[in-house]
């Protein structure tokens, strides 16, 4: 479970996140939807312990910067972070050792196979295409079997096979009771698996919507998105 309470983040004079509060329960997929510059990456980096912020963030009740919280967390950054001089297989080995995992490399191989990287296992990070780096970044985030997963614009640069695998993976993580948070500006990439969507604008949640919730929304997600991001409307509702 992820709990974000009254988080604000300033870059100099620029207020990139303004008093953001939300929770993502176990077995839930939450989506942050918003145009470029809305503040999605900023809240994600705060959650992942990469930025200083005001407010509090807890992962399964533990402060997000604690070792216990970090062990539970898997993060796919917006730009793939791979090591130039480690091979694909060595990346996974590095994760296994960093997290002192006792299992052998079987699960790592399953992940690599799933994302069509097994035949690239001896290639160096710097020899991979952007899309392959993104797939490796996803495998690395999953390798220590985290319970809370944060994906920042995960579809960008992926081929159709990888997009399909990733969508299947989201559904599997949900079925396993994991907590999943995905940020995207591509509405159609999330339409069939989200539980709750928060539409961000100017560093705040301008609207929140639950899938299959009791509210009877006649508007599609896309219509709501454009009304909010291109119009002046804000629902102001928070989960």
Question: Interface with ligand ADP by CB under 6 A: which residues?
Answer: 11, 14, 16, 34, 36-42
Q: What Cα–Cα distance (Å) separates residue 38 from each residue in 42, 45, 184, 198? A: 9, 14, 11, 11
Nearer residue to ligand ADP within complex by CB, 42 or 64: 42
Nearer residue to ligand ADP within complex by CB, 122 or 188: 188
The secondary element (H helix, E strand) that includes residue 227 is helix 221-230
For residue 185 the two structure tokens come to: 């500006």
Residue in 48, 49, 137 with CA at minimum distance from that of residue 86 = 137
Nearer residue to ligand ADP within complex by CB, 112 or 199: 199
Mark out the alpha helices in 143-210 (DSSP H runs): 160-175
Q: How far is the CB of 188 from ligand ADP (least distance, A)?
A: 18
Q: How far is the CB of 127 from ligand ADP (least distance, A)?
A: 29
Q: How far is the CB of 187 from ligand ADP (least distance, A)?
A: 14
For residue 212 the two structure tokens come to: 């299959």
Neighbouring C-beta atoms of residue 207, cutoff 10 Å: 22
Q: How far is the CB of 158 from ligand ADP (least distance, A)?
A: 18
Nearer residue to ligand ADP within complex by CB, 117 or 199: 199
């Amino acid at each position: 479970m992820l709990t974000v309470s009254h988080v604000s983040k300033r870059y100099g004079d620029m207020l990139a996140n303004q008093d953001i509060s939300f929770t993502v329960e176990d077995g839930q997929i939450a989506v942050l939807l918003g145009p470029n510059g809305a503040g999605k990456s900023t809240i994600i980096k705060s959650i992942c312990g990469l930025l200083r912020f005001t407010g509090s963030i807890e992962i399964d009740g533990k402060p997000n910067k604690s070792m216990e919280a970090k062990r539970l967390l898997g993060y796919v950054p917006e730009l793939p972070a791979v090591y130039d001089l480690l091979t694909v297989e060595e990346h996974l080995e590095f994760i296994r050792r960093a997290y002192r995992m006792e299992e052998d490399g079987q699960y790592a191989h399953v992940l690599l196979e799933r994302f069509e990287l097994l035949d690239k296992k001896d290639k160096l990070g710097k020899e991979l295409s952007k899309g392959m780096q993104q797939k490796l970044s996803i495998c690395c985030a999953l390798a220590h079997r985290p319970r809370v997963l944060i994906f920042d614009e995960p579809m960008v640069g992926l081929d159709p096979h990888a997009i399909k695998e990733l969508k299947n993976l989201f559904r599997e993580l949900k079925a396993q009771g994991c907590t999943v948070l995905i940020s995207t500006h591509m509405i159609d990439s999330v339409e069939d698996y989200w539980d709750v969507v928060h539409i961000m604008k100017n560093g705040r949640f301008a609207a929140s919507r639950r899938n299959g919730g009791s509210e009877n929304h006649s508007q599609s997600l896309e219509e709501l998105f454009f009304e909010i991001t291109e119009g002046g409307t804000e629902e102001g509702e928070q989960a």
